Amino acid sequence: MEDKDILFKKIFHENSSKIYHLCLGYAGDEDIANDLVQETFIKVWQNLEGFRNQSQLSTWVYRIAVNTCLSFLRVEKRKNNDSLSSEHIENLADEASPKLDQINQLYKSISRLEENERIIITMVLDEIPYPEIAEIFAISEGNLRVRIHRIKQKLTRIYNQYEKF
Amino acid sequence: MKNFETIKELWKVQKETQINYDSIMKSVTSDQNKYAQKLIVQTICVSAVLAIILNIWILKPFFTWTTHLSMLVLCFCLVYFMVIQLCDYKKVRQFNQHLLKPQDFIEYLKQYKKGSYLLNRRNYKIYTFGIGFAFLLILFEMYFILPFWVLLLFTIITMGWFIWSYLFIMKEYIQTENERIESMISQLERIKNQLKE
């Protein structure tokens, strides 16, 4: 039990920031992102004994986080999904510094991407190695590279569109 | 105009999560407690109702076999309800599913949501039918005991309640649930298509 505690603490400290970025990029809302982080680590704790080193620990944690995000469905808010994220991010911008304003604009641009694109790009921005991302999504590295290239172009285009206004 | 590398630089100035290690551990404990508490409360309630029914069944002298059958059906319905709840909890707590590949996980979720929706509807129908059937059987005994107009009133109110529940409350519930599940499944389908190679 004590070993589990120590291991879990280590996993949490090493991965919580990146998992938060992933969840925030996916949900576009700080509260929801915090909830998703919490849910992810609860599942990590509950599955820790079943972890069998078939993959890297971080890959394993990411897989749980990705599945937690993908299974998060905003059924009732669906109609206002994009406007909700954008609105929330705009409110954050009012309170923040100019630098954070740009960060919020970046999150706003990410929220315009498709769900899987949001997750992949936040991993790229957090500099997760490509083979690891490919393993998390269970796709070939070649395929991932093509996707990332497309997503980068898309995100840059959306971000610059926002900056014009 | 910014290129992707410039955008990437922005990423380094980031907010951090407000979740800390202690709050996760608190959640784990409270989640386990809530689950255990819910089970205990449900078990106590069902056991209490079951005890009352058994008590009536043993202590009250019934004249017709239909009432005995009715008591048996009522007990069965309560136990059935309890077993369904337990199975539901067990299914929800199959956490190892979260380790599947994302595309397999989405497929699993889609099937799970569809399956549990159909199963719950079927279970609810069996439960309602059982309770309705038990009431119907009790009416035979009441026919010999109660004055006719009281029996008639009781029958009308009971039947009225069942018809109202089945045709209005349940219909509306099914419709709302149907829309919710359809929306969930279409979203899951959309996400699954995004994950295709």
Contact B6/A at CB under 8 A? no
Q: What is the mean pLDDT of chain A?
A: 83
Q: Contact, B132 vs B61, CB < 8 A?
A: no
Query: Position A94: which residue type?
Result: D
Q: What is the mean pLDDT of chain B?
A: 85
Residue A75: what pLDDT?
61
| Of A23-27, A40-44, B82-86, B183-187, the least confident | B82-86
Of A164, A131, A161, A165, the residue nearest A148 (C-alpha): A131
d(CA B20, nearest CA chain A) in Å: 8
Cβ–Cβ of A16/B19 closer than 8 Å? Answer: yes
d(CA B31, nearest CA chain A) in Å: 9
Residues of B in contact with A50 (CB under 8 A): 96, 99
- Taking only residues 29 to 58 of chain B, the set having a beta carbon closer than 8 angstroms to any beta carbon of chain A reads 31
Does residue B197 register a pLDDT over 70? no
Distance between CA atoms of residues B33 and B55, nearest Å: 32
Residue B60: what pLDDT?
86
Distance between CA atoms of residues B55 and B14, nearest Å: 65
Query: Position B145: which residue type?
Result: I
Residues of A in contact with B7 (CB under 8 A): 106, 155-156, 159
Q: What pLDDT, in 10s, does the model give residues B118-168?
A: 877 888 888 888 988 998 899 888 888 889 999 999 999 988 988 888 888
Residue B29: what pLDDT?
79
Assign residue B101 a region (left: φ > 0; alpha: ψ between -120 and 50; beta: otherwise): beta
Residues of A in contact with B197 (CB under 8 A): 139-140, 143
The pLDDT-based confidence of B18 (bands split at 50, 70, 90) is confident
Contact B103/A at CB under 8 A? yes
Residue A81: what pLDDT?
46
Distance between CA atoms of residues B68 and A15, nearest Å: 62
Give the DSSP H or E segment for B47.
helix B21-59
Candidate from B8, B28, B102 with C-beta closest to A42: B28
Q: Strand, coil or helix: what is B119?
A: helix
Query: Position B177: which residue type?
Result: E
Q: Strand, coil or helix: what is A95?
A: helix
pTM: 0.77
- Closest residue in A to B19 (Cα) is A34
Residues of A in contact with B25 (CB under 8 A): 45
Burial profile A95-117: b = 16 or more Cβ within 10 angstroms, e = fewer: eeeeebbbbbbbbbbbbbbebbb
Ranges of each domain in chain B = 21-196
Residues of A in contact with B10 (CB under 8 A): 99, 102-103, 106
Average pLDDT over every residue of A106-121: 93
**How many other C-beta atoms are found inside a 10 Å radius of the C-beta of residue B160?**
10
DSSP state of A113: S
Does residue A122 register a pLDDT over 90? yes
Environment class of A140 (CB within 10 Å of its CB; exposed 0-12, middle 13-18, buried 19+): exposed
Candidate from A8, A34, A137 with C-beta closest to B102: A137
- pLDDT above 70: percentage of residues in chain B: 95
- Complex prediction ipTM: 0.77
Q: What pLDDT, in 10s, does the model give residues A41-97?
A: 998 988 888 776 667 888 999 999 999 999 898 765 444 444 444 445 545 545 556
Does residue A120 register a pLDDT over 50? yes
Cβ–Cβ of A71/B105 closer than 8 Å? Answer: yes
Question: How many A-B residue pairs are in contact by the CB < 8 A criterion?
Answer: 125
- Closest residue in A to B6 (Cα) is A156
Residue A164: what pLDDT?
67
Q: Contact, B80 vs B130, CB < 8 A?
A: yes
> Helix-strand-coil percent breakdown of chain A, rounded to 5?
80, 0, 20
Of A98, A96, A84, the residue nearest A28 (C-alpha): A84
